[in-house]
Amino acid sequence: MQTHEIRERFTNHFVETGHTEVPSASLILDDPTLLFVNAGMVPFKPYFLGQQTPPFENGLATSIQKCVRTLDIEEVGITTRHNTFFQMAGNFSFGQYFKEGAITHAWTLLTGPVEEGGLGLDPERLWVTVYTDDDEAAEIWEHKIGVPVERIQRMGMEDNFWSMGVPGPCGPCSEIYYDRGPEYGQEGGPIADDNRYMEIWNLVFMESIRGAGDKKGGFEILGELPNKNIDTGLGVERVACILQGVDNVYETDLLRPVIDVAQELTGTQYDAGSPADDVRFRVIADHSRTSMMIILDGVTPSNEGRGYILRRLLRRIIRSARLLGATGEVMEPLINTIMDTMTPSFPEIADNRDRILRVALAEERAFSKTLESGTHRFDEAAETLKASGVTTLSGEQAFELHDTYGFPIDLTMEMAQEAGLEVDMDAFNAAMEEQRNRAKADNKAKKMGNRDDSLYREWVDAHPTEFVGYDQLTHDANVIGLVKDGEKVTEVNQGDEVEVILDVTPMYAEAGGQMADRGRLVMGETVLNVGDVQRIGKKLWVHKATVQNGGLDLGSTVTAEVDGAWRHGARQAHTATHLIHAALRQVLGPTAVQAGSLNKPGYLRFDFNYTDQLSDAQLEEIATITNQAVDADFAVNTIETSLEEAKAMGAMALFGENYGDRVRVVEIGGPFSIELCGGTHVEHSSQIGPVAVLGESSVGSGARRIEAYSGLESFRYFSKEAALASGLASELKTPSEQLPERIAQLTERLRAAEKEIENLHRQQLLAGTGDLAAKAETVGAHKLVAVHLPDGINTGDLRTMVSDVRGKLTGEDAVVVLASADNGKAAFAVAATPAAVESGVKAGELVKTFGTYVDGKGGGKPDLAQGSGANPAGIDAGLAAIRDALA
């Protein structure tokens, strides 16, 4: 049975029993505790916590949620049951059925005949576990379902008590296991062997709220949830493994094709007797799928957060392929293959293939350059070690290659072995552990738990705010809620900072990149200045305000007034953003997709997924198309329709955004621009005024940003530019249209003059090096030139001088040390002739010796090194110390 059919049977089973089908949320949600959605229940957290009332008919839901877990990336492929990306099929009951209902549903689907829509598993091969003291669940399994008591096992909190690992919902659980047979391990049930007995479904009986704690069981139960709820998770990949008769999740219809392609690319065979190679194949398969799904949801590689995880996954693919024997690029065939296998379950992949591939290939090419620089750094280190007779690469050096150059430790070890070296893995692992501990501490500091929106629940449920601001800037409203310092109050007074909840408002709440409206709430002499408006649960508008004058009571009627100038500027910027997006796609193609935006009066920035820097010609074309659309005076139409109809119209949606059944489409100029958008816009494109595109820049690997002014801010910008051009034209006595050519001529003349000055400076420096060489003195077995030069010579010049003096002493065992005070610091450089290096002199070590006397440091190769320090008064002492060292 193919994986997409398993998904279909699961969904059909629960829809037919009254559950509402909920589409998978994006892997990226607005949750401060998570980088990625890591469990099927994550999108339902507000309902479990009682912060919002579930909107599902009968209080029942089912979903197949995309999930990513990346805590133990290094363990991927070592075990054959775990993936970083997986599909969690679940059914949810919010205060409806509980243990018996969840158990009955699961058993019916798992053991039901295939011809009747079930999965057809043999009930004699199913085992279950329950929480230690959960007699109720054990009783249901034995007497209601008929599972023999010997196939019901009890486990403790580590195994049969579920939480997300952070403060939030939790409860005991019951897990269902499938016995794969004696060839997979010993008898005795899940307690005896969890390889033979594969867990396939976890039924969580959500009834409590847990507090903070680092480990399972190391937390306090804070209380009960408002209702007893059900959260279950069936591992789609594990069930596919069983129903397809394969040994592990890497050999199912989703991942095995990737392994087959990897065999062709590397010339190495999977399952040919090498456990290490098999792990690498599984890493390639797992990470290809996870990377593709993360890119699909809008993430691009970077050095932090989600982007760092993606970069790490992609680079582990490349590293594994290299270690298996690949010599060229591998990403294109691997990603194409995983997109083919996953599209039946996720049709949206088809519309994003080019973009996904572009991001993956760009990272592969970037990593190739990293490998080159890392290899160069390794070769330098290996050469130095061999010259000094050392056979071990230090853990610190290996960690530097890993951390600074992104060089995988496996590759370092392979190259070290080829060079006849070992790697101090104990020290490397200690450095890695220290880094992990720092990361965990940082992550812990960021995990602030769940925002307690339960304070607002009565308003969310009973009095959703009516937004009338699309066509009105002023409206009377009733004050249905007041919050001050996190508590509900019945009155507020002058000077108070408060949150005001109205039953109706014309003020736009921040969303979709558009900043919130500014405005006032007025009642007679009472005035509250509104500086921000936020939404809770997409239903409730919270006005953050300061009481400027008077006071306000709960139940009062106020007039809500939007700052008209602010709104006008914000509308201009937001509509201009749509025009720029459309222009981008005309110039760059459909792979240039929005990744974020910010719109405020007079200014916009637009982030988009694209790997290459835009040329000046492309940027000019984007600006031209945008302003042509302004000049065309396109009508801006808004349409409310269903999500499916909007997609059929060609409306673009944002990654990571979860849309309801009814959506708002903004159409500008017919087919010119059509997007899903809840923001405010001008009525005609000409109302935007001129749009000044300021430029574009990188905001991470595979992501670019365009910034622009709109309306009056654009006019002011153009006026400044015109005044600047006029001033330059006057100063240079050149017509404005000839300024670029004139400035280019002057720049070229300046560069030529600077080069000439540099050459003269170099000649002046080198003119005295002959005299310096003549000052060589004999110190021990060496010739030494050690001179404290006049002030003002920088490190770069010193390096040039010591190299030249060394050249004049070629053939001798000689060392050159020059130092100078430059801008309040000590600059110094050391050079050693080949004979001196042969006799054991190391310039890098001498520089370190010198550095201790000038409160500085330095480094380099045995024949040439340099450094700087904060205490130039120690220069003479440093020179003396080098004399002593050579003597």
pLDDT for 447:
39
pLDDT for 214:
62
Are residues 78 and 200 both part of a single domain?
yes
We report the CATH number of the domain holding residue 127 as 3.30.930.10
pLDDT for 402:
78
524's tokens: 């007679």
pLDDT band, very low/low/confident/very high, at 369 (cuts 50, 70, 90): confident
pLDDT band, very low/low/confident/very high, at 448 (cuts 50, 70, 90): very low
pLDDT for 563:
96
pTM for the predicted model, two decimal places: 0.65
449-478 tens-digit pLDDT: 344 566 787 787 777 789 999 999 999 999
Are residues 440 and 463 both part of a single domain?
no
Are residues 207 and 125 both part of a single domain?
yes
Q: What is the DSSP letter of 142?
A: I
Residue 622: CB partners within 8 Å, gap ≥ 6? 580, 583, 584, 587, 614, 693, 706
Average pLDDT, stretch 11-37?
Answer: 88
Binding site annotation covers 681? yes
pLDDT for 102:
96
Please say whether the beta carbons of 793 and 872 come within 8 A.
Answer: no
The alpha carbon of 199 is separated from its chain's Cα centroid by a whole number of angstroms, namely 30
Residue 393: CB partners within 8 Å, gap ≥ 6? 381, 382, 385, 412, 416, 421, 422, 423, 424
Any domain includes 148: yes
Q: Of 696, 720, 744, which marks where a domain is finished? A: 720
24-34 tens-digit pLDDT: 999 988 766 78
CA angle 356, 358, 361 (to 5 degrees): 105
Top pLDDT among 590 and 768 is at 590
Average pLDDT, stretch 734-762?
Answer: 85
Position 585 pLDDT exceeds 50: yes
Position 579 pLDDT exceeds 60: yes
Binding site annotation covers 677? yes
Element (H, E) at 203: strand 197-210
Are residues 230 and 329 both part of a single domain?
no
Query: What is the C-alpha to C-alpha distance for residues 124 and 148, in angstroms, rounded to an integer?
Result: 9
788-808 tens-digit pLDDT: 988 888 888 888 888 989 998
Please say whether the beta carbons of 21 and 11 come within 8 A.
Answer: yes
pLDDT band, very low/low/confident/very high, at 67 (cuts 50, 70, 90): very high
Are residues 690 and 571 both part of a single domain?
yes
Any domain includes 383: no
pLDDT for 132:
93
Top pLDDT among 345 and 536 is at 345
pLDDT for 438:
65
pLDDT for 458:
77
pLDDT band, very low/low/confident/very high, at 307 (cuts 50, 70, 90): confident
> Where in the sequence is the domain holding 823, given as residue range(s)?
768-886
Position 73 pLDDT exceeds 60: yes
pLDDT for 472:
94
658-677 tens-digit pLDDT: 566 688 999 999 889 999 99
Top pLDDT among 253 and 722 is at 253
Top pLDDT among 642 and 91 is at 91
Position 444 pLDDT exceeds 70: no
Any domain includes 677: yes
The share of the chain scoring above pLDDT 90, in percent, equals 57
pLDDT for 452:
54
143-155 tens-digit pLDDT: 999 999 999 999 9
Range from 4-18, 89-103, 379-393, 861-875 carrying the lowest mean pLDDT: 379-393
189-244 tens-digit pLDDT: 999 998 899 999 999 999 888 888 765 667 888 888 878 899 999 999 999 999 99
161-175 tens-digit pLDDT: 988 676 778 899 999
**What are the distances in angstroms from CA 615 to CA 590, 620, 700?**
18, 9, 18
pLDDT for 216:
63
Any domain includes 397: yes
Are residues 37 and 127 both part of a single domain?
yes
Query: What is the C-alpha to C-alpha distance for residues 813 and 837, in angstroms, rounded to an integer?
Result: 8
677-700 tens-digit pLDDT: 999 999 999 999 999 999 998 887
Q: Of 448, 468, 483, which marks where a domain is finished? A: 448
* Owner of token pair 């792990």: 279
The alpha carbon of 614 is separated from its chain's Cα centroid by a whole number of angstroms, namely 23
Count of the separate structural domains present in the chain? 6
pLDDT for 772:
87
Please say whether the beta carbons of 81 and 249 come within 8 A.
Answer: yes
- The per-residue DSSP string of 779-827 comes to ETTEEEEEEEPPTT--HHHHHHHHHHHHHHTTTS-EEEEEEEEETTEEE
pLDDT for 451:
45
Average pLDDT, the chain: 88
Nearest CA among 748, 788, 774 for reference residue 879: 788
Find residue 558's DSSP bridge partners: 477
Are residues 778 and 837 both part of a single domain?
yes
Average pLDDT, stretch 416-422?
Answer: 82
Binding site annotation covers 241? no
Please say whether the beta carbons of 349 and 356 come within 8 A.
Answer: yes
Q: What is the DSSP letter of 214?
A: S
pLDDT for 829:
94
Please say whether the beta carbons of 754 and 786 come within 8 A.
Answer: no
Are residues 787 and 833 both part of a single domain?
yes
Q: Of 720, 755, 784, which marks where a domain is finished? A: 720
Nearest CA among 157, 169, 151 for reference residue 92: 169
pLDDT for 884:
92
604-613 tens-digit pLDDT: 999 988 878 8
Any domain includes 376: no
Are residues 457 and 479 both part of a single domain?
yes
We report the CATH number of the domain holding residue 502 as 2.40.30.130
Position 278 pLDDT exceeds 60: yes
| Burial degree of 740 (CB within 10 A; 0-12, 13-18, 19+) | exposed
Any domain includes 741: no
Nearest CA among 564, 454, 547, 460 for reference residue 500: 547
pLDDT for 651:
79
Query: What is the C-alpha to C-alpha distance for residues 824 and 845, in angstroms, rounded to an integer?
Result: 24
Average pLDDT, stretch 552-572?
Answer: 95
pLDDT for 557:
95
pLDDT for 440:
55
241-262 tens-digit pLDDT: 999 999 889 999 999 999 999 9
Are residues 822 and 848 both part of a single domain?
yes
Any domain includes 128: yes
325-367 tens-digit pLDDT: 998 899 999 999 999 999 999 999 998 898 899 889 988 988 8
Any domain includes 803: yes
Position 737 pLDDT exceeds 60: yes
Query: What is the C-alpha to C-alpha distance for residues 319 and 124, in angstroms, rounded to an integer?
Result: 44
Are residues 242 and 355 both part of a single domain?
no
Binding site annotation covers 82? no
Range from 580-584, 626-630, 642-646 carrying the lowest mean pLDDT: 642-646
Are residues 181 and 64 both part of a single domain?
yes
pLDDT for 58:
86
